[in-house]
Amino acid sequence: QGLMAGKRGLILGVANNRSIAFGIAKACVDHGAEIALTYQGEAFKKRVEPLAAELNAHVAGHCDVTDPESLDAVFADIAKHWGKLDFLVHAIAFSDKDELTGRYVETTRDNFLRTMDISVFSFTTIAKRAEPLMSEGGSLLTLTYYGAEKVMPHYNVMGVAKAALEASVRYLAVDLGAKKIRVNAISAGPIKTLAASGIGDFRYILKWNEYNAPLKQTVTQEEVGDSGVYFLSDLSRGVTGEVHHVDSGYHVVG
């Protein structure tokens, strides 16, 4: 049957088969869940559709978190298709590549606001939209990074955004807890993905983690996916407001 049999979840942030969201999606399906995916515009549609077919996933349409109408449409589609939601994964972040290098102090107002909108506010507005579909309780999961806690080279405004995202996890956990909706984050170690390729010196960061993490390796999408199953299934029914490191233990030494 599987740990996630009978559960239905929406997974946001699959850009391609290397996305962390894809690792989580695959693990959920392997454990018996039914999932829905979205894509960000026509360019990603072509990449997401075959991945959805591979996972037997419902495609809930175009989703750009800066466009509230696209979010309305996605949640209307889920309400029509399933009428309820058991879990939701938010694996979305964005910042101008030119500001993911050099000094944080140079951050522009425009990019600061855009980074916060796409990487932080989106989780809150999505939680609000998911709430009415989770009348029997549910689990929300977002993705964060150690740059929220410590200064990491080049992570800059994204580190500030992840700190705000982690605080959002705690506030949302309180707001939604009475409805048995749990809210948690996985703080993943560095993984080579499309978004990560925009970060300055990323290959060096990967190597640094490999040499210094207690497990002497970087993490994979599959490892993050398996930890995701814990948060999205009833195994973690007593856990909310948590930021959980899946980083080969790097945070204890870094």
Which of the residues are catalytic? 145, 155
Residue with smaller CB distance to ligand 0WD, 216 or 237: 216
Tell me which residues in 52-111 interact with ligand 0WD (CB under 6 A): 63-66, 91-94
- Centroid of chain to Cα 218: 18
139 contact partners, CB below 8 Å, separation of at least 6: 86, 87, 88, 181, 182, 183, 184, 231, 232, 233, 236
Three-state SS for 50?
Answer: helix
87/145 with CB nearer ligand 0WD: 145
- Each as own residue / partner, the long-range contacts of residues 37-46 (CB below 8 Å, 24 or more positions apart, any chain) are 37/10, 37/11, 37/12, 38/10, 38/12, 38/14, 38/62, 38/63, 38/74, 39/14, 39/63, 40/15, 40/64, 44/15
Is residue 213 a contact point for ligand 0WD (CB under 6 A)? no
Q: How many residues bind ligand 0WD (CB under 6 A)?
A: 26
Please report, for residues 64, 94, 118, 160, the alpha-carbon distance to residue 112 in angstroms, rounded to integers and kept in the order given.
Answer: 18, 10, 10, 9
Is 191 an interacting residue with respect to ligand 0WD (CB under 6 A)? yes
Cβ closer to ligand 0WD: 8 or 62? 62
Locate the DSSP E strands across the chain: 8-12, 34-39, 58-62, 87-90, 138-144, 181-188, 243-246
Residue 236 interacts with ligand 0WD (CB under 6 A)?
A: no
219 binds ligand 0WD (CB under 6 A): no
Q: Under the criterion CB under 6 A, does residue 3 sit at the interface with ligand 0WD?
A: no
Collapsing DSSP states into helix, strand and coil, what is residue 168?
helix
Tell me the window of 3-11, 142-150, 176-184, 229-237 that interacts with ligand 0WD (CB under 6 A): 142-150
Q: Output the smallest distance, CB 66 to ligand 0WD, in A.
A: 5
138 is a site residue for ligand 0WD (CB under 6 A): no
190 forms part of the interface with ligand 0WD (CB under 6 A): yes
Nearest CB to ligand 0WD, comparing residues 19 and 236: 19
Binding positions for ligand 0WD, 16-45, rule CB under 6 A: 19-21, 40, 44
Interface contacts to ligand 0WD, rule CB under 6 A: 13, 15, 19-21, 40, 44, 63-66, 91-94, 118, 143-145, 188, 190-191, 193-196
